[in-house]
Amino acid sequence: MTKLIGLLIAVAGLVAFPLVFDNPYYIHLGTTILIYTILLFGLDIVVGYTGQVSLGHAGLFGVGSYTAGVLMLKLGLPFYLTLPAAIIVTSFFGGLLALPALKVVGPYLAMVTLAFGTILQILINEMDFLTEGPMGITIKKPFIFGHEATEQEYFWMVALGMAIALIVVHRILKSQLGRAFEALRDSPVACDCMGVSVYRYKVYAFVISAGFAGLAGALYSYSERYISPNTYNNELTVLFLLAIIMGGRKSRLGAIIGAVIIVMLPKLLDDINLFRIVALSLAVLVTLGSILAVNRQISTPKKLAIPVIGTIGLALFSFWLNQITDWRLSIFGVMILLVVYYLQDGIVGFVRNFSGALQGSKSRTIDVSHLYGNNPLDVIQNAANHSGNGPILDVKKVLMQFGGLKAINNVDIRIARGTIHGLIGPNGSGKSTMMNVLTGIYVPTDGEVLFENNSVVGKTSSDIALSGIARTFQNVQLFGEMTALENILVGLHHTFKSTLLDVSLHLPRYKKEEQFARERAFGLLKFVGLDSLATEEARNLPYGKQRMLEIARALALDPNLLLLDEPAAGLTAPDIKELLAVIRKIRDHGITIILIEHHMEVVMSVCDQISVLDFGQKIAEGKPAEIQSNEKVIEAYLGGSAT
């Protein structure tokens, strides 16, 4: 209900704005804010959700502007054709920008994307047969009902575009696509091993993001009525990134706030009186907030001293100044420093944390069970297919060499269908390396791995995962910023067939898939006893629960073979008991399990067959009782250190 009222107020505000501020200058500022907002929605997909840096978005913005401008100049196309064309052309360039992101990360990616933006700007400048070069292109506002749109009418058109962009981006980010973007940020390796190709979704993210930049660029060209190459420079690209950081990543409201800041800040720094008012209000707000925070013991005076002194200082300084022009850049720099240092989650994140802390750490756990009914779901669908003959997995003479080190040396292992197969050995004996070979993270130097009679060697991790091998990791690899339920939903990604169009329009196919996936995800949480923690962020779960969540997420893949890498490591005794029960339940569903474990009571009580590795070689194999009495195994492993 409050949401609906908020929405109505927002819509009324947008409709009323150009009527209230009946001045072309203010209306134009408002239009620019809305246009930047659209671009920031897109940039946030790349920066906030996939966690990649992009300094190429001003270039993409330019591509959008120039696509619209050139099509209008050369072909006289109307805006309802130039806008879609700008989106499509810019998306293509977004795909190009994604290519370096597949190879490099962090500062390197920042450099490459910066170069990409610069190249685009130079191209626009040089291709004067198309773009008129430095002369720029003069453009008329769109024609509606036979006349050129007024500033006011154009504001409404852009507001409509922004509203549509908001709905579309929000739907994308709440869907399986958005979850894939977040998953690849939090753990690329786990993302691939859940059948969600990091490669593919990074490209998608850049392409979709560029689509928004293209729309924004095209709208901008009509808004300015004149475009020239030097608008789309590196300063603008840094400003865009700053807007995301200041507003708050992973937030639509953050994008809006960011756009307001980058459009208004230069104006603010032009007008000394306005600057004084804002500096004073800021000082009052920060001081009152700090007093409140100290009172409620959310923070200490020591921590708050610098922001309080800083903002009061800024306010005093503003009254001491006679004119502002000489100080603009310095003030801008100081503000950026303060924001980047103190508001790392942006304004939206800060307010959220602050109000969350004020309300106390009330558990946000919501009981969602009523949403899903109580009928027993067949959550594990893939009760393994028993029709096949022979071993489910056949590892033949596998060699895995790292430089001179043979981490796995000529190992043969056959895993019988429907069994729990233990893999034990001292630390560094090659157990985890074997898992990585089986799941495509490493390509073996030599040898053959057959799963269901098909070779997995050379296949990508995500293809192997989709073929039915799921895994957990020795060092838990959850998607930390996502809830427990969302983590499982990433595992269920393979059940989605819906496209970008289904998602954007909320077509029945998508709605059905989402509903069904949520029911199953909840069922899987129940299966491992985590249903009451469905809405808790994975990184906030206790360690034992995190391990359980990882198992449930792996089951979401409907695997035939499940690889567990030291699932009991770091667990308490009661947790281990629970884990054992879950492992047995999984086996009873017909899923074959390979279990790496150091806890001998776990291994010996559930395994049907055990292989022992030492220095990369298989030194023994057999039933638990045989292994326990095997001389070689006792000497190499069980002897002193059986824990």
Which residues bind to Mg ion, rule: CB under 5 A?
Answer: 432, 474
Looking at the Cβ atoms of 431 and 587, the one nearer to ligand ADP is 431
| Least distance CB 641 / ligand ADP (angstroms) | 13
Q: 75 touches which of ligand ADP, Mg ion, none (CB within 5 to 8 A by kind)?
A: none
Q: Which is nearer to ligand ADP, 56 or 425 (CB)?
A: 425
Tell whether the torsion through CA atoms of 92, 94, 95 and 96 is positive or negative. Answer: positive
Query: Within a 13 Å sphere around the CA of 35, how many CA atoms are in the beta-carbon half?
Result: 27
CA distance 216 to 38: 6
What is the smallest separation between the CB atom of 606 and Mg ion, expressed in angstroms? 19
250: left (phi > 0), else alpha (psi -120 to 50), else beta?
A: left
Q: Rounded to an integer, what distance in angstroms lies between the CA atom of residue 52 and that of residue 44?
A: 10
Question: Taking CB under 6 A as the rule, does residue 349 contact ligand ADP?
Answer: no
Counting residues that bind ligand ADP (by CB under 6 A) gives 11
Could you say whether residue 51 binds ligand ADP (CB under 6 A)? no
Taking CA atoms, 609 is separated from 273, 419, 625, 631, in Å, by 80, 8, 10, 17
Which one of ligand ADP, Mg ion, none interacts with residue 428, CB within 5 to 8 A by kind?
ligand ADP
643 binds ligand ADP (CB under 6 A): no
Smallest distance from ligand ADP to CB 433, Å: 3
**Which residue matches tokens 């003479």?**
397
Cα–Cα distance for residue pair 559/10, rounded to 1 Å: 47
Can residue 611 be called a binding residue for ligand ADP (CB under 6 A)?
no
Minimum CB separation from Mg ion for residue 570, in Å? 13
Residue 447 contact, options ligand ADP, Mg ion, none, Cβ 5-8 Å cut-off depending on partner type? none
The residue with its CB nearest to Mg ion is 432
Q: How far apart are CA 547 and CA 525, in angstroms?
A: 12
Work out the angle between the directed axes of helices 79-103 and 106-126 (0-180°, nearest 10): 140
The 3-class secondary structure across 526-569, one letter per residue, is HHCCCHHHCCCEHHHCCHHHHHHHHHHHHHCCCCCEEEEECCCC
Nearer to ligand ADP, 287 or 474 (CB): 474
Q: Which residues fall within 8 angstroms of residue 563, CB to CB, at 6 or more apart?
A: 435, 438, 439, 469, 470, 471, 472, 593, 594, 596
Which of 415, 411, 378 has its CA nearest to residue 560? 415
Alpha-carbon radius of gyration of the chain: 29
Segment interacting with ligand ADP, rule: CB under 6 A, options 30-38, 304-312, 426-434, 631-639: 426-434
Q: Which of 31, 231, 433, 560 binds ligand ADP (CB under 6 A)?
A: 433
Shortest distance, position 549 Cβ to Mg ion, whole Å: 20
> Nearest approach, Cβ of 626 to Mg ion (angstroms)?
24
The site string for ligand ADP over 396-415 (x = CB under 6 A, - otherwise) reads: ------x--x-x--------
Q: Which of 107, 427, 573, 643 binds ligand ADP (CB under 6 A)?
A: 427
Among 51-59, 211-219, 242-250, 428-436, the segment contacting ligand ADP (CB under 6 A) = 428-436
For residues 491 and 518, the answer to whether their CB atoms sit within 8 Å is: no
Length of the chain: 643
Instruction: Please report whether residue 318 would count as binding ligand ADP according to CB under 6 A.
Output: no
Q: Is 295 in the site for ligand ADP (CB under 6 A)?
A: no
> Least distance from C-beta 365 to ligand ADP, angstroms?
35
CA dist., res. 415 & res. 409, Å (int)? 18
* Smallest gap from residue 596 Cβ to ligand ADP (A): 7
- Chain residues that interact with ligand ADP, rule: CB under 6 A: 402, 405, 407, 425, 427-433
